[in-house]
C-alpha cells in the first residue's frame, strides 16, 4: 500500500503571500497531468479569483539521471543518451555532445560532414518549431493547426529515417564526423521538402498571424524585459523576442555556419506575440540555410581519418593489421580523453544548449553537465505569469516552448 505523505504549508510558506496562509487566496495544483503543461510539469498556483498571484513550478518528474549514467559510459556509448534529453531536438543534442568531445580531444571534422550536420540540425529546428506551433496553438483551441504542422513534421521525420534508420532517436553523428554518408535519395527528399515548405509557412501564418482570436491571447501577454531575460539566463528565441540579438550560430559560428547567409530575427516587445513572430521568422531562415548548404554540399569523406578516435572503414579491416587493432581498441576500451574541462554550446531551437565536459585521461567522461535551455526558460515563468489569468498562463507556457525531458534530464 502506498503511503501518501502530507505536505505542510510550512515547506512553501516563504514562496506564497500572507493571504494564502490566511485562506484569502486559493492554492491550486496545475499538473502534473495537465494537457497544456507539455509533459509532466506541476505548477502550484496561488490564485486570487482567476488571477495568478504566485506560480511555483515543481519539476523533476522526468529525472532519469542522464548525467550520472553518462559518467559510467564511454564517450561513444554516452552519446546514445543525449537524444533522450530534448526529444524534439535529437540531432541538436548529438551535435552539442560530439562537438564537446571533439573540442576535448582536439579532433577535426571534414567539410562534408559539417555541412550535413548543419542541414540536419536545421531540419531538427524546423521539426521542433513545428511541434511548438502545433501544440501551442492547440492550447489556444486552434485545433487544425496541430494537424497541418504534424503533416510537415512527418516529412522531416521521414528524412531522418532515411539517413539514420530512426525517426526520432537518431544518434547519427559521431565524434569526428557522421555514422555514415547520407544515402543518394537524401538530396531529392530534402529538396522536395524545401519546395513545399515556404508555402506551408505562409499557410500557417494566414491561419494565425492576423487572426483576432489568436492576437487577443498573445498581444501584451507575458511581457519579459531585456534585463529580466538576461538575469534569468534566458537564451534563444525568447531572448531575441526581448530585444537582444544573440544567436550562437551568428556570434560564435560552428560547423561552418559562417558560410551561410541568414539573418537573426529580433523583436523588442518581449510578449507572447513577439516570441511567436520570432520563431516563425526563424523557420524561414532555416529553410534558407538548408537551401544554401545543400547547394554547395562538398564531396569527400564524412569521417575524420584520425584512427585513434574514429574507427576505420570495414574495407580496411580485412587488409590492414593496424586498422584491426584500432577497431578492436576503440570498441573494447573506447578512446582516452585528456585531463581538462571544456564547455561547448550550440544554438538549439530553445536556446543555448551547452555541454560541460571534464576528462580525466580515461575513456569515460569524469563529469558531464548539460546546460539545457528549457531549465532556465522555465525558471522565468513565475515572473511572466504574475498578474495574468490562468488562461493566459496556458498561452505563456506554450510560448516558452519547454520540453520537460530537457529540464529534468
Partner 1 sequence: MDNKLEKIVKTLQADFGAAVEEFRGEAHVTVPAGRIVATLELCRDQLGFELLDSLTAVDYWPKELPRFHVIYLLTSVSQNLSVAVHVPVNGDQPEVPTVSGVYASANWREREVWDMFGIRFAGHPDPRRILMPTDWEGHPLRKDYPLGYEEPQFTFNFDEIDLRKPSPKE
Residue ranges in contact with partner 1 by CB under 8 A: 2-3, 5, 7, 11, 14-15, 59-60, 63, 65, 67-69, 71-72, 103-104, 106, 228, 230-233, 235, 244, 246, 251-252, 340-343, 345, 352, 354, 356, 358, 366-367, 369, 371, 375-376, 379, 408-409
Q: Output the smallest distance, CB 327 to partner 1, in A.
A: 28
Q: Output the smallest distance, CB 372 to partner 1, in A.
A: 9
Cβ proximity to partner 1: between 3 and 315 the closer is 3
Q: How many CA atoms lie within 13 A of 63 on its CB side?
A: 8
Q: Output the smallest distance, CB 218 to partner 1, in A.
A: 25
Q: Look up residue 127 and give its three cell numbers.
A: 521539426
Q: Are 350 and 401 in contact (CB under 8 A)?
A: yes
Q: Output the smallest distance, CB 193 to partner 1, in A.
A: 33
Cβ proximity to partner 1: between 58 and 269 the closer is 58
Q: Look up residue 183 and give its three cell numbers.
A: 544515402
Q: How far apart are CA 343 and CA 355, in angstroms?
A: 6
Cβ proximity to partner 1: between 168 and 383 the closer is 383
Q: How far apart are CA 232 and CA 379, in angstroms?
A: 7
Cβ proximity to partner 1: between 48 and 67 the closer is 67
Cis amide bond preceding 32, omega within 30: yes
Alpha helices in 252-389 (DSSP H): 272-295, 314-317, 321-332, 373-379, 381-385
Cβ proximity to partner 1: between 153 and 364 the closer is 364
Q: Are 409 and 64 in contact (CB under 8 A)?
A: yes
Q: Output the smallest distance, CB 103 to partner 1, in A.
A: 6
Cβ proximity to partner 1: between 139 and 376 the closer is 376
Q: How far apart are CA 31 and CA 38, in angstroms?
A: 10
Cβ proximity to partner 1: between 256 and 382 the closer is 382
Cβ proximity to partner 1: between 165 and 340 the closer is 340
Q: Which residues contact 141 (CB under 8 A, 6 or more apart)?
A: none
Q: Which residues contact 215 (CB under 8 A, 6 or more apart)?
A: 273
Cβ proximity to partner 1: between 71 and 205 the closer is 71
Q: Output the smallest distance, CB 344 to partner 1, in A.
A: 9
Q: Which residues contact 295 (CB under 8 A, 6 or more apart)?
A: none
The residue assigned the cell 534563444 is 236
Q: Output the smallest distance, CB 86 to partner 1, in A.
A: 15
Q: Output the smallest distance, CB 385 to partner 1, in A.
A: 15
Q: CA angle, 294 as apex, 292 and 297 as ends, to 5°?
A: 105
Q: Look up residue 318 and give its three cell numbers.
A: 580485412
Q: Output the smallest distance, CB 106 to partner 1, in A.
A: 7
How many angstroms separate the Cα of 329 from the Cα of each of 62, 155, 198, 321, 325?
35, 39, 48, 12, 6
Amino acid at each position: 500500500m502506498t503511503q501518501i505523505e502530507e505536505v505542510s504549508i510550512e515547506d512553501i510558506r516563504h514562496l506564497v503571500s500572507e493571504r494564502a496562509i490566511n485562506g484569502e487566496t486559493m492554492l491550486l495544483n496545475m499538473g502534473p497531468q495537465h494537457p497544456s503543461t507539455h509533459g509532466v510539469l506541476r505548477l502550484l498556483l496561488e490564485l486570487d479569483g482567476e488571477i495568478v498571484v504566485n506560480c511555483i513550478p515543481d519539476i523533476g518528474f522526468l529525472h532519469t539521471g542522464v548525467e550520472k549514467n553518462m559518467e559510467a559510459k564511454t564517450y561513444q556509448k554516452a552519446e546514445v543518451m543525449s537524444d533522450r534529453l530534448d526529444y524534439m531536438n535529437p540531432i541538436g543534442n548529438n551535435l552539442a555532445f560530439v562537438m564537446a568531445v571533439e573540442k576535448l580531444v582536439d579532433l577535426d571534422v571534414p567539410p562534408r560532414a559539417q555541412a550535413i550536420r548543419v542541414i540536419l540540425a536545421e531540419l531538427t529546428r524546423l521539426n521542433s518549431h513545428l511541434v511548438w506551433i502545433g501544440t501551442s496553438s492547440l492550447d489556444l483551441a486552434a485545433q487544425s493547426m496541430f494537424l497541418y504542422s504534424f503533416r510537415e513534421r512527418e516529412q522531416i521525420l521521414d528524412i531522418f529515417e532515411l539517413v539514420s534508420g530512426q525517426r526520432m532517436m537518431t544518434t547519427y553523428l559521431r565524434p569526428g564526423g557522421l555514422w555514415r554518408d547520407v544515402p543518394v535519395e537524401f538530396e531529392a527528399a530534402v529538396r522536395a521538402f524545401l519546395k513545399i515548405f515556404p508555402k506551408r509557412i505562409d499557410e500557417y501564418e494566414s491561419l494565425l498571424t492576423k487572426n483576432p482570436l489568436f492576437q487577443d491571447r498573445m498581444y501584451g501577454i507575458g511581457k519579459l524585459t531585456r534585463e529580466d531575460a538576461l538575469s534569468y539566463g534566458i537564451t534563444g528565441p525568447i531572448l531575441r523576442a526581448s530585444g537582444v540579438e544573440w544567436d550562437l550560430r551568428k556570434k560564435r559560428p560552428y560547423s561552418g555556419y559562417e558560410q551561410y547567409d541568414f539573418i537573426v530575427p529580433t523583436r523588442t516587445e518581449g510578449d507572447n506575440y513577439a516570441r511567436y513572430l520570432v520563431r516563425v521568422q526563424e523557420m524561414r531562415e532555416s529553410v534558407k540555410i538548408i537551401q544554401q548548404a545543400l547547394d554547395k554540399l562538398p564531396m569527400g569523406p564524412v569521417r575524420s581519418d584520425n584512427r585513434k578516435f574514429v574507427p576505420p572503414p570495414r574495407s580496411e579491416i580485412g587488409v590492414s593489421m593496424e586498422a584491426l587493432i584500432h577497431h578492436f581498441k576503440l570498441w573494447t576500451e573506447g578512446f582516452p580523453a585528456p585531463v581538462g574541462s571544456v564547455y561547448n554550446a550550440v544554438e538549439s531551437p530553445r536556446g543555448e544548449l551547452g555541454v560541460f565536459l571534464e576528462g580525466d585521461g580515461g575513456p569515460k567522461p569524469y563529469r558531464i553537465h548539460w546546460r539545457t535551455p528549457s531549465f532556465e526558460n522555465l525558471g522565468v515563468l513565475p515572473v511572466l505569469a504574475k498578474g495574468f489569468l490562468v488562461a493566459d498562463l496556458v498561452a505563456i507556457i506554450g510560448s516558452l516552448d519547454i520540453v520537460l525531458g530537457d529540464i529534468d534530464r
